[in-house]
């Protein structure tokens, strides 16, 4: 069996990057397929797997927007060759229009960029980029023979935005590495905090996400909420932001001007997200659009409560006992302040309630996700291209 996967990156970190990595690994290692990748980057050990071949795509100026056409072009060229060999093709959203399996991690049409504050040239670039992404998405989804969604939220968006018949879409939730994302012992937590330079006994909330010009992740709301909370001398929780982007320095400056440098700390891009989550007391993710929300998933697997916008895909899996961790959609400063105070008032109880959900999520591994994906798509993966087009 030959299978081609087209995706920007196949990496250990990040939502769709990790999901694509794990599917490719499963196909090569467990299903015994010859796997062909078209991507900008492929992490080890996948890149060196004996049954994996990688077509390296250039990324001009390290820009995904500028590289999009090249990724699509290289993907189509490789797909034509793979199809002639009797192989099958898996693409992601609008990254490569091809009649095969389309794995959708985010619906561009549903993702409204929050860039009103940004410089004019950034707003123009974002508008052009989004319009192009939506056009590509529409074409690719129209050609797909089967669509896999990462959540029921994503599935509903596809039905609503593109009038795709629900029976053409299968929802498959993401998995986790339970050896990495797991609760830490008190001794481990103290050691991690010491290594990060955090106070040993101060409650610490974490924001994990991009801090670019698109404020989709809602850090601007969270920052304002923290200012209000810190005006109360009784508020004893620090905020740490882990994420890179064009606005990291801006938010650092804002914290300094507000006199909050010691209460709101910017860490920039990090590779040690698992350690950061294990050492945290709370994850706050007030996103405006989130097809799934892997950061919240990872936090809960670490035994850490995750305060998340209720429209995020991950919240479909929340038990009713954790409904107090759901933010309004769209999120607001007032609602954030209210939910954060509510969490703080019963912090130990919230952590206890998360434990059983944490155990449940850790039981579904990346291998389980990949196996379900292969089983769901097997009819298309094993039929010849001629058969699937009849």
When pLDDT is cut at 50, 70 and 90, the band that residue 15 belongs to is confident
SS3 state at 105: coil
| DSSP symbol at 185 | P
Same domain for 160 and 191, yes or no, is no
Residue 388 has pLDDT above 60, yes or no: no
- C-alpha separations of 232 from 220, 226, 251, 252 in Å: 20, 10, 21, 21
Same domain for 101 and 198, yes or no, is no
**Residue 181: inside a domain:** no
- Quick one: tokens of 332? 């607001």
pLDDT at 381: 67
Same domain for 114 and 204, yes or no, is no
Q: If you count them, how many residues does the chain have?
A: 390
Same domain for 205 and 354, yes or no, is yes
**Residue 324: inside a domain:** yes
Residue 389 has pLDDT above 60, yes or no: no
**Other Cβ atoms closer than 10 A to 231:** 8
**Residue 180: inside a domain:** no
Residue 385 has pLDDT above 70, yes or no: no
Mean pLDDT across 64-76: 94
Residue (of 1, 7, 3) closest to 79 by Cα position: 3
Residue 161 has pLDDT above 70, yes or no: yes
pLDDT at 167: 92
Residues 79 and 140 sit within 8 Å (Cβ to Cβ): no
Residues 353 and 124 sit within 8 Å (Cβ to Cβ): no
Exposed / middle / buried, residue 305 (Cβ in 10 Å: 0-12, 13-18, 19+): buried
Same domain for 333 and 207, yes or no, is yes
Residues 3 and 88 sit within 8 Å (Cβ to Cβ): yes
Mean pLDDT across 200-217: 96
When pLDDT is cut at 50, 70 and 90, the band that residue 70 belongs to is very high
pLDDT in tens, 162-207: 999 999 999 999 999 999 999 999 999 999 999 999 999 999 999 9
- Quick one: tokens of 160? 């609503």
Report the mean per-residue pLDDT for the chain. Answer: 94
Residue 221 has pLDDT above 80, yes or no: yes
**Residue 216: inside a domain:** yes
pLDDT in tens, 327-370: 999 999 999 999 999 999 998 888 888 999 999 999 999 999 99
pLDDT at 386: 45
Number of domains in the chain: 2
pLDDT at 383: 58
pLDDT at 382: 62
Same domain for 17 and 35, yes or no, is yes
pLDDT at 390: 38
Residue 209 has pLDDT above 60, yes or no: yes
- Quick one: tokens of 168? 């053409």
pLDDT at 39: 97
Mean pLDDT across 263-285: 96
**Domain membership of residue 286 as a residue range:** 186-362
When pLDDT is cut at 50, 70 and 90, the band that residue 251 belongs to is very high
DSSP letters spanning 218-254: -HHHHHHHHHHHHTSTT--EEEEEE--STTHHHHHHH
Domain at 149, CATH number: 3.40.50.2000
Residue 387 has pLDDT above 50, yes or no: no
When pLDDT is cut at 50, 70 and 90, the band that residue 378 belongs to is confident
- C-alpha separations of 384 from 75, 87, 120, 370, 390 in Å: 19, 7, 49, 21, 10
Same domain for 111 and 253, yes or no, is no
pLDDT in tens, 109-129: 999 999 999 999 999 999 999
């Amino acid at each position: 069996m030959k299978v081609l996967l087209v995706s920007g990156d196949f990496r250990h970190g990040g939502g769709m990057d990790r999901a694509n990595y794990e599917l490719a690994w499963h196909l090569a290692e467990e299903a015994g397929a010859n796997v062909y990748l078209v991507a900008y980057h492929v992490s080890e050990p996948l890149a060196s797997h004996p049954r994996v071949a990688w077509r390296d795509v250039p990324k001009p100026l390290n820009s995904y927007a500028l590289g999009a056409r090249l990724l699509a072009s290289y993907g189509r060229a490789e797909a034509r060759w793979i199809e002639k060999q009797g192989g099958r093709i898996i693409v992601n959203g609008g990254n490569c229009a091809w009649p095969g399996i389309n794995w959708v991690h985010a619906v561009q049409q549903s993702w409204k960029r929050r860039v009103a504050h940004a410089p004019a040239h950034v707003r123009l670039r974002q508008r052009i980029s989004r319009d192009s992404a939506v056009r590509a998405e529409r074409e690719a989804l129209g050609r797909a023979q089967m669509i896999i969604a990462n959540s029921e939220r994503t599935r509903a968006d596809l039905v609503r935005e593109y009038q795709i018949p629900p029976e053409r879409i299968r929802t498959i939730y993401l998995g986790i590495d339970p050896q990495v994302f797991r609760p830490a012992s008190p001794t481990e937590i103290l050691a991690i905090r010491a290594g990060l330079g955090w106070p040993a006994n101060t409650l610490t909330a974490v924001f994990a996400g991009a801090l670019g010009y698109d404020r989709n992740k809602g850090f601007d709301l969270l920052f304002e909420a923290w200012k209000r909370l810190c005006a109360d001398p009784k508020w004893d929780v620090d905020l740490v932001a882990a994420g890179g982007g064009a606005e990291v320095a801006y938010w650092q400056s804002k914290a300094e001007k507000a006199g909050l440098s010691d209460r709101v700390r910017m860490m920039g891009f990090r590779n040690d997200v698992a350690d950061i989550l294990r050492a945290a007391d709370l994850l706050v993710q007030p996103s405006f659009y989130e097809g799934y929300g892997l950061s919240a998933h990872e936090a809960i697997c670490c035994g850490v409560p995750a305060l998340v916008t209720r429209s995020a895909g991950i919240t479909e899996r929340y038990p009713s006992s954790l409904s107090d961790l759901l933010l309004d959609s769209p999120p607001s400063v007032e609602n954030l302040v209210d939910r954060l105070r509510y969490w703080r008032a019963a912090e130990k109880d919230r952590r206890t309630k998360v434990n059983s959900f944490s155990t449940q999520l850790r039981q579904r591994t990346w291998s389980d996700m990949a196996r379900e994906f292969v089983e769901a798509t097997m009819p298309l993966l094993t039929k010849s291209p001629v058969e699937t087009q009849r």
